[in-house]
Chain A
Amino acid sequence: MERFETVTAVAAPIVARDVDTDQIFPSRFLSRPRADGNYGQYLLHDHRFDAQGRPRPDFVLSDERYRNARILVAGANYACGSARPGAVFAHVDFGIRAVIAECFGAVFPTVAFKYGILTAQLAPAQVAELLAQLLRSPGAQVSIDLPRQAVTAPDGQCFSFEIDPFAKRLLVEGLDPIGLTLGFRAEIERFEEKRRAALPWLA
């Protein structure tokens, strides 16, 4: 997994609230195999393309200035709805490294950091300020310093965010979470023995 320390990049404003995973990755693409970063084309697909596959010029990601966007600043409750893996991989394949929002859907923030994507929660007024600046200056850059837990807006204002040490370490060190967990194998086995004794009818 790609490590995440500091990222300075074009940030795309996704102004709408409650952008669900049916929008982020329409279900009809879920049966397509993922290879060579092909899921990037499905990110927010039906906002970006019409029924004939032509780009919708009024959507933010259709604008050339956002071609290299690596950060999304989104409305509240981003990625709510389904827990589909494609929603995470679409961001990865598009090149998104961080999503900033007031709050997220139930599952997306619990898995995104394991695939190198930071989900940073800021206060509603801070997200509103970031969105306002990005709408005023399309193509402007935002900086994220994960070790310092800080977001720097295009005008230089700095906002700090909370992240637990576990998620931060996985992102900064680019660790494989499965390998990390299996490092506790002995503890897990001791727990399993205890559990079998407590709930023997599960055997």
Chain B
Amino acid sequence: MTPRPRTLVDKLLDASTIREEGGRTLLYVDRLIAADTATPAFGIVRSGGYTVRRPAQALLIADHYTPSTGPTLDHAADEQTRSLIAGTQATARSYGMRVLGLGDPLRGIQHLVAGELAYAQPGIVVAAADSHTSTQGALGALPFSVGIDLAHVLATQCVWVHRPGGMRVQLEGALPPNVTAKDVILHVIAQLGPAGASGVAVEFAGSFVRNLGVPGRMTLCNMAVEMGARTTIIAPDQITFDYLRGRPLAPQGAMWDRAVTFWRTLYSDPGAGFDREVSFDVSLVEPMVTWGNNTAAGVPIGGLVPDPAREPDRAKREQLQAWIDYMGLQPLAPMAGLVVDQVFIGSCTNGTLDDLRDAARFVRGRRVAVPTLVVPGSGLVKAQAEMEGLADVFVDAGASWGESGCSMCSAMNGDSLAPGLRCVSTANRNHYGRQGPGSRTHLASPAMAAAAAVAGRLVDVRALVVA
């Protein structure tokens, strides 16, 4: 008898299930990540009389509150954030956890660092509080964002999950010049909507994904949560293995061969049942930009702000109008040419070396027209970017070059936007007040953000001559 064909997510869930109970699955967590936001979770562990059950499988990476102005606690924005960084680092150490704290050259945004270290690996379950833990699906790991359930994972090394349904997003074809994975995922989310993958496990597949490097795959997986995905994965392949080989926590020697043999079994079987399948031709994707206050509010750069009067559904019509009012826009106004006040390049969505190289192409030899902050996604990305001269490109153009961290994406480290200002950001969210009260955020790719920084307005990167 041949075994029932299974999706990759089903295979990994089956392999990590400890028990089923009342409609939930108790799932084993191979590796967990905590951040400098873990104070409430540590508090629950301690007040419950629990401890960190498997500290060797737990890592703390400070990223949310860490200053972009410098590598020490003295640079922290205020006393509160300083004490949260210091407190979480000290607590994690007291439990015997490994800590990548302020000043550590390997520190950076947790989701990118987990890949760089090969802490996230194909076939394992990774859990972290943060919603963008989904990024690690790019390596073939099964990621779960657990919010305050981090306390439960710290204390038990397990998490209770609802087995999610499966959704395959097929991305076929090749990108036109100057269109990136960021544009693809903004396009997909715009098409499927903010709840288009509500509660399900998304597997990205198709010829575009098979040919895409790990950084681009991270951008796709990172943003699946913006359409409600519970978890996200891409089947690991030679590109994944080549990325992982030789990284600090990657298997070595004979263990490497054993691991790769196992990793090669990690794919969705032909005929495996997905609850939903959707397909996109990426050759039709254009550079995207969001205009409203949800990531799904994206249009091609040549597009217009929607007209609420044409929306038949009342709740949606009111939402469109509220976003237009908040963003200070007019119905049917063209996106191209919109004057911007600031630019932010970085975040777990677009903080890799590839992203910075992409952005630098549009800045090299030019001057930025508006205040521009470039924050590499990790300490390793920062060091490499400085070595190959990318940092100089940005600084020579008049941009600021910061220490790695979440910075102006979550606006919790002192980097924020003043009320009413308009910012082009390479991050993942444009919600009301996301970059500070009254802030207006337009999401775009690193290339589009860099082009906007130079022009001082939204422009179509495809029309620009690159230095």
A interface residues, Cβ below 8 angstroms from B = 15-18, 20, 22-23, 26-28, 30-32, 34, 46, 51, 75-77, 80-85, 88-89, 103-108, 110-111, 114-115, 164-169, 176-179, 181-182, 184, 187-188, 191-192, 195, 198-202
Contact = CB atoms under 8 A, between A and B. Distances in A.
A201 B259 contact: yes
Contacts, number: 196
Given A166-B160, A176-B48, A31 B412 contact: yes
Contacts of B149: 110-111, 114
Nearest to B20: A166
A35 to B, nearest CB: 11
A22 B22 contact: no
B258 A201 contact: yes
B170 interface: no
Contact of B437 (A46, A110, A191): A46
B18 interface: yes
Contacts of A166: 21-24, 160
B4 interface: no
Interface in B132-173: 145-149, 151-152, 155-158, 160-162
Contacts of A176: 48
Contact of A84 (B147, B151, B322): B147
Interface in B403-425: 410-412, 416, 419
A17 B198 CA distance: 14
B379 interface: no
A107 B28 contact: no
7 contacts: A28-B412, A30-B64, A51-B437, A75-B315, A85-B148, A106-B230, A114-B148
A175 to B, nearest CB: 11
Contacts of A178: 44, 48, 50, 151-152, 155-156
Given A31-B81, A51-B419, A46 B432 contact: yes
Interface stretch (B123-131, B207-215, B283-291): B123-131
Contacts of A17: 194, 315-316, 319
Interface in B227-285: 228-230, 251, 255-256, 258-259, 262
Contact of B30 (A22, A88, A169, A202): A202
A88 B148 contact: yes
Interface string B425-438: 00001011110111
Nearest to B431: A22
B228 A77 contact: yes
B66 interface: no
Given A165-B22, A182-B156, A191-B28, A77 B319 contact: no
B318 interface: yes
Interface string B87-103: 00000000000000000
Contacts of A34: 40
A23 B433 CA distance: 8
B360 to A, nearest CB: 29
Contact of A111 (B123, B146, B156): B146
B292 to A, nearest CB: 10
A107 B155 contact: no
B410 A187 contact: no
